[in-house]
């Protein structure tokens, strides 16, 4: 299968492990009814990046009902029976170590200032009872999040927040590809950096003609944060005719992020 930049980030269907489901595959056999297959794509589970084996529960994880945070080193994410899980005292500052196959019960309406300690690997699941409402692959990297959404997932059109949970500022750059390179009717904006332990507002949207399929998503690595923007005009089926453009993160002249 072949796809353009941004296509995989735009997939809306997910399986029970929150992997994105690819386009339908039709299997045709002579004198038999066609079979239609929907298959999850490896590596597309939402991701949490952990720095120095510590992760702060974000304030937007607070819910009106109690929920469980479960963790495992390997295998598929699952929700343990909540009957044997101790409820944490989530007021003020608190910390917990999450080992393999461990879980904590977070009370309704409370997260406090919580730090969880676990290795940068495996998975993290959020559960109501035995029903999993979110699952994340845990990897090592800068502790950066977006709200709403997750890293490497399509952002909603308009404004969203990029949250730097590290103790140092992180630069932001813009990467755009496909028909977006030649357009003047899209807007993608963010400041040059995110200060330590703070958030900034970014924007990604398309206005007017030509209509297009487009996607914006955020990644973060040791070099900084990148806001990606990819687009394809309606009716385009040929290979990309425009090169990829990328803003230099450090020192070199930059295209204004308010384009």
Residue entry with tokens 């990328």:
246
Q: How many helices (H) and strands (E) does the chain have?
A: 0, 19
Token pair of 207 as six digits: 């206005």
Kindly state whether residues 161 and 102 are assigned to the same domain: no
Kindly state whether residues 238 and 148 are assigned to the same domain: yes
> Do residues 160 and 146 touch, judged by C-beta distance below 8 A?
yes
Q: Give the closest residue to 73 by CA, choosing from 134, 124, 38.
A: 124
Kindly state whether residues 216 and 167 are assigned to the same domain: yes
Kindly state whether residues 151 and 226 are assigned to the same domain: yes
Is residue 135 a part of any domain in this protein?
A: yes
Kindly state whether residues 93 and 184 are assigned to the same domain: no
Is residue 41 a part of any domain in this protein?
A: no
Residue entry with tokens 């005719």:
241
Per-residue model confidence as pLDDT tens for the chain (259 residues): 455 667 788 788 888 888 888 888 888 888 888 888 888 888 888 999 999 999 999 988 878 889 999 999 999 999 998 677 888 888 888 999 999 999 999 988 878 889 999 999 999 999 998 899 999 999 999 999 999 989 998 888 889 999 999 999 999 999 988 776 676 677 778 899 999 999 999 998 887 666 667 889 999 999 999 999 887 776 544 444 444 555 443 333 333 344 4
pLDDT value of residue 112: 81
Final residue of a structural domain among 90, 123, 140: 140
Structural domain boundaries enclosing 82: 52-140
End-to-end Cα separation, the chain, in angstroms: 33
Kindly state whether residues 189 and 242 are assigned to the same domain: yes
Kindly state whether residues 136 and 61 are assigned to the same domain: yes
How many degrees, rounded to 5, is the angle at CA 13 between CA 2 and CA 214? 55
Token pair of 152 as six digits: 């490497």
Q: How many CB atoms lie within 10 A of CB 31?
A: 4
Is residue 104 a part of any domain in this protein?
A: yes
pTM assigned to the model: 0.80
Count up the domains in the chain and report the number. Answer: 2
pLDDT value of residue 183: 67
Is residue 169 a part of any domain in this protein?
A: yes
CA separation for the pair 250, 6 (Å, rounded): 25
CA separation for the pair 225, 132 (Å, rounded): 29
pLDDT value of residue 98: 94
- β-partners of residue 178 are 231
pLDDT value of residue 9: 82
The secondary structure element, H or E, covering residue 56 is: strand 54-56
Final residue of a structural domain among 89, 115, 140: 140
pLDDT value of residue 134: 93
Give whole-number Cα distances, 231 to 60, 148, 191, 242, 256, in Å: 30, 21, 22, 11, 19
CA separation for the pair 226, 217 (Å, rounded): 8
């Amino acid at each position: 299968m072949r796809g353009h930049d941004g296509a995989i980030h735009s997939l809306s269907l997910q399986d029970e492990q929150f992997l994105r489901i690819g386009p339908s595959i039709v299997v045709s056999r002579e004198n038999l009814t066609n079979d239609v297959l929907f298959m999850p794509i490896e590596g597309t589970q939402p991701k949490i990046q952990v720095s120095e084996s510590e992760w702060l529960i974000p304030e937007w994880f607070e819910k009106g009902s109690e929920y469980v945070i479960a963790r495992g080193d390997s295998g598929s994410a699952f929700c343990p029976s909540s009957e044997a899980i101790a409820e944490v005292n989530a007021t003020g500052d608190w910390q917990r170590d999450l080992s393999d196959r461990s879980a904590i019960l977070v009370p309704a309406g409370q997260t406090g200032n919580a730090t969880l300690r676990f290795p940068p690997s495996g998975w993290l699941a959020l559960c109501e009872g035995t029903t999993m409402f979110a699952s994340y692959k845990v990897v090592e990297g800068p502790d950066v999040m977006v709200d709403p959404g997750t890293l490497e997932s399509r952002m909603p059109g308009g404004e969203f927040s990029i949250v730097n949970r590290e103790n140092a500022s992180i630069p932001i750059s813009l990467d755009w590809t496909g028909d977006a390179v030649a357009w003047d009717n899209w807007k993608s904006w963010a400041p040059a950096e995110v200060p330590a332990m703070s958030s900034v507002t970014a924007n990604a949207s398309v206005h007017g003609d030509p209509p297009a399929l487009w996607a914006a998503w955020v990644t973060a690595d040791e070099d900084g944060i990148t806001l990606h923007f990819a687009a394809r005009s309606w009716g385009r089926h040929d290979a990309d005719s425009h090169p990829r453009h990328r803003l230099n993160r450090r020192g070199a002249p930059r295209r204004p992020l308010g384009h």
